């Protein structure tokens, strides 16, 4: 039996919705683990620095399908701003992935990487700000400007990701219940 989400957007393939839900939960877990590793690293345990870097790579890789899913969700709400948000998100997230990977692989030293990755994090934060602005009417996106800013800065990303996954999951279940 095929289940389709039909309200307002072209984001209507239940398989794609399930992948997005999985990516949101998994990226939220990776972010939470990365934050714990970062705290332990700054507590004086150096091995947790590279572990944090790996968690960030996993988190941002999993954010890419979320970026495209949010783009689909926001199609009805402003095409130009939505296209801008997609571009900003993809560029920011790929920049973080590449810079973190280069650090982990020893291609660039930390002092060089940190100068480049901080602006990339801010570009990613721009995506969260843009989707918050565009998504005020979209019930399947988490609400709150501060939540979006803190998610972009990583500190509240696990909360944002779990809220997003939960809203998508509820909307999928509602559609499945309606079709029975």
Q: Contact at 8 Å (CB) between 74 and 134?
A: yes
The secondary element (H helix, E strand) that includes residue 168 is helix 157-178
Q: What residue spans define the domains of the chain?
A: 14-175
Asked if residue 180 has pLDDT above 90, the reply is no
Does the pLDDT at position 7 exceed 50? no
Give the chain's mean pLDDT. 90
Over the stretch 100-136, which tens digit does the pLDDT of each residue have?
A: 999 999 999 999 999 999 999 999 999 999 999 999 8
Looking at residue 171, its pLDDT comes to 84
What is the C-alpha separation between 126 and 124, in angstroms, rounded?
A: 5
DSSP state for residue 124 in the 8-state scheme: H
pLDDT digits (tens, 9 = 90+) for 20-45: 999 999 999 999 999 999 999 999 99
Whether residue 11 is predicted with pLDDT greater than 80 in this model: the reply is: no
- Position 101 scores a pLDDT of 98
Give the number of other Cβ atoms within 10 Å of residue 111's Cβ.
7
Question: What is the mean predicted confidence (pLDDT) over 60-73?
Answer: 96
- Average the pLDDT over each of 8-12, 13-17, 133-137, 149-153 and give the range with the smallest value: 8-12
Q: Return the structure tokens found at 46.
A: 């150096």
């Amino acid at each position: 039996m095929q289940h389709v989400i039909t309200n307002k957007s072209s984001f209507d393939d239940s398989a794609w919705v399930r992948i997005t839900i999985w990516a949101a939960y998994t990226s939220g877990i990776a972010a939470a683990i990365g934050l714990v590793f970062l705290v332990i690293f700054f507590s004086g345990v150096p091995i947790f620095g590279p572990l944090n870097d790996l968690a960030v790579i996993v988190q941002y890789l999993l954010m890419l399908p979320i970026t495209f899913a949010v783009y689909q969700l926001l199609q009805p709400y402003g095409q130009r701003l939505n296209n801008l948000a997609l571009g900003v998100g993809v560029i920011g997230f790929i920049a973080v992935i590449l810079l973190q990977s280069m650090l982990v692989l020893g291609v660039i030293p930390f002092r060089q990487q940190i100068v480049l990755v901080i602006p990339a994090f801010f570009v990613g934060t721009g995506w969260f700000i843009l989707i918050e602005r565009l998504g005020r009417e979209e019930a399947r996106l988490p609400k709150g400007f501060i939540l979006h800013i803190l998610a972009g800065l990583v500190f509240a990303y696990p909360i944002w990701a779990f809220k997003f996954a939960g809203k998508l999951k509820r909307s999928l279940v509602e559609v499945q219940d309606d079709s029975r």
